[in-house]
Amino acid sequence: MSTPKTVSIYTLGCKLNFSESSTLGRMLRARGYELIPFEEGADLYIINTCSVTDFADRKCRKIIRRARRHNPQARIVVTGCYAQLKPDEIADIEGVHMVLGAREKFQLLDYLEQLDHAQAMPLVAVSAVDEARFSHAFSYGDRLRSFLKIQDGCDYVCSFCTIPKARGKSRSAPLESLIEQAHQLASQGVKEIVLTGVNVGDYGKLEPGQRHRYRLIDLIRALDRVEGIERYRISSIEPNLLTDEILAFIAESRAFMPHFHIPLQSGSNKILRRMRRRYLRELYADRIRAVRQYLPDACIGVDVIVGFPGETEEDFRDSYRFIQELDVNYLHVFTYSERSGTPAATMPDKVPMHIRRQRSQLLRALSLRKRRAFYEKNLRQIHRVLLEPSPHEGKLEGFTENYIRVLVEAPPSMINHIMPIHLDQLIGEELVQGSLTHIPQPEKLNF
């Protein structure tokens, strides 16, 4: 075939997917492809999918249709979790030329050689993920912060989750290779790294089914010593894996930020048991108290699923009250959707969809109140902000150490600087107006 000259990558889902898409983009550039914006009608579209919810599946199909509108002659390749779980369903979508599974994703260049404009049927290459090896990935150039993949897969068996089937068993990158990648990113001007994975707290198993070679605390101690990286964040960590040892280290750390995203999923012990989570709400509350003990000003985010099978009105109220009383700062609320092949999909006592949505709205309103209270608590303080481009003319934006989004009037020359910013006032639901406390001398940026 004649090699397409332009390519566009569309990423759905989590930070882990973004790290992998960025890695695929670098591989394609090295092979001579030009990466262009999605709307410009690329010769080749790579769609990296998610399958956490039914909405993610529907979004994938919508993106495929959009790609065909931008260039009806484009080759379309679909990969990621949705591709791993339902390859035949994707292959039946008009316009799809290739479906690659989780293991095949990183052999993309080899598979592209097999694309043929005359082929009658999509090429489907999806193998089992049970013994999949770890594939390194990190993002660079897409935004100022880098997403560094440290772990993949999951050994948990939550009754609602398809991720173990989509990504396989828990496995990790060797500690030494991650330190090397952090040094590489530092040399390229990156100042903030977000550690990503499916179950980051389970870091340390180098092969599926093996014992841990390392622990997460070993990795974060080593990363903290990498010169040039000024900030680290942990994308998400299970409450049963967030130890006092980790919290104590971060409290004294040079570079790890006081920001935690800790999945809860439900504040009802009855529902947590039905979900097959590895903790009850008493442990979760204990972990929130521990975070506040070590890092009183930390920002804490929470994942919650509403409308799980068997969740009665009293169960929801019980969960709502528990979350309301928790000293947390924002929620990511997911309306439960049935995922085929999971135990939860066949459970009785399904909650009607309109009730699921009503409960989601109530929790999202609670999230806004909690976030606003947290932001107001931090007003009239000075925080350090990594400044990034903003769509607002003449302004930059970024996040404080404890994850408050700030908008500030500043010149473009200050992009990728970490600056002390006075938090002046709230503007909107999730944004604070800030002001510079001083303006530095210009310096040459490597980024």
313-323 residue pLDDT tens: 999 999 999 99
pLDDT of 446 higher than 80 = no
Task: State how beta strands 192-196 and 171-172 pair.
Answer: unpaired
Q: Band of the pLDDT at 4, cuts 50, 70, 90?
A: low
Q: How many CB atoms lie within 10 A of CB 397?
A: 20
The pLDDT of residue 2: 54
What pLDDT score was predicted for residue 440?
Answer: 57
Percentage above 90 pLDDT, the chain: 83
Instruction: Tell me, yes or no, if the pTM score tops 0.95.
Output: no
Average pLDDT (362-367) is 98
**CB count, 10 Å around CB of 173?**
24
Mean pLDDT, residues 31-35 taken together? 93
Contacts of 224 (CB under 8 A, 6+ apart): 232, 249, 253, 254, 255, 256
- pLDDT interval class at 437 (50, 70, 90): confident
pLDDT digits (tens, 9 = 90+) for 120-149: 788 899 988 877 789 999 998 777 899 999
Question: Quick check: 439 pLDDT over 80?
Answer: no
Q: What pLDDT, on the 0 to 100 scale, is given for residue 116? A: 72
Residue 217 corresponds to which tokens in the numbers above? 């605390």
Mean confidence (pLDDT) of the chain: 92
